[in-house]
Amino acid sequence: MGVLALQGDAREHVSVLTECGAEPVLVRRADELAAVDALVLPGGESTAISRLLQVFDLLDPLRARLRDGMPAFGSCAGMILLADEVLDTRPDAQHLSGIDMTVRRNAFGRQVDSFETDLDFAGLDGGPMRAVFIRAPWVERAGDEVEVLARVPSGPAAGRIVAVRQGRVLATAFHPEVTGDHRVHRMFVDLVREQRRTAGSVNKHTGTDLKEVGE
């Protein structure tokens, strides 16, 4: 399992994934992307990550891996990158079309408008999840095949979609890597394990055997 490490809080995701029993590696190059069977796209600055994907020749390989069904999880900037359409972004910004959704960048406002709230998150046991929103996006349109997992419960943004899943691709507008609640990461690790059980034990991109919770 890889964590994209071009910009943003990659190491926080590595720490949480390790606690969840995975063996994550940092991904900065195309050969490193080819060697993993799943990828986390961290929070950070989405337009900066977009530019760096081009600089490091990762944009097209990553789009191809997503089209081929690679599991992925994006938080905050990662959600923006995974979208089909992005509003309020730079005209030269790139996105990956991993989820059939329209995302509005910085939808909740500037850094000073960052906030926390409790969310009911579909598919997670244990009660509401504390969510931290930092210059966060929200989902303005979710396609027919997109499962809505969480919405803002109250306030001016009540009802806005902030967590979704389409097939093997998961995205949150908030930062589950910073709260100590690892349930979203465990959901993703379980999704990857299920994908491995379904697909067998051989990574078609490397031809090598995969460990149960590694890569």
In the annotated binding site for L-glutamine, the residues are: 44-46, 105, 134-135
Distance of CA 6 to the CA centre of its chain: 14
Q: Return the closest-CA partner of residue 80 out of 137, 165, 131, 132.
A: 137
Going by DSSP bridges, is the β-strand pair 161-166/147-151 parallel, antiparallel, or unpaired? antiparallel
Say if residue 172 is exposed, middle or buried (CB neighbours under 10 Å; 0-12, 13-18, 19+).
buried
| Residue among 13, 20, 95, 175 flagged as catalytic | 175
Catalytic member of 95, 177, 185, 215: 177
Instruction: Dig out the tokens for 133 from the structure.
Output: 């929103």
Catalytic residue among 13, 20, 76, 95: 76
Binding site residue list: 44-46, 105, 134-135
Q: To which H or E segment does residue 203 belong?
A: none
- 20 classed as catalytic: no
User: Alpha-carbon torsion 108, 55, 40, 142, what sign?
Assistant: positive
Distance (Å, rounded) from C-alpha 115 to C-alpha 157? 12
Q: Is 76 a catalytic residue?
A: yes
Closest by alpha carbon to 171, among 179, 181, 163, 161? 163
The backbone torsions φ and ψ at residue 113, rounded to the nearest 5 degrees and listed phi first, read -95, 10
Take residue 206 and report the two structure tokens written for it: 């490397």
Tokens matching residue 51: 């530019």
Which residues form the catalytic set? Answer: 76, 175, 177
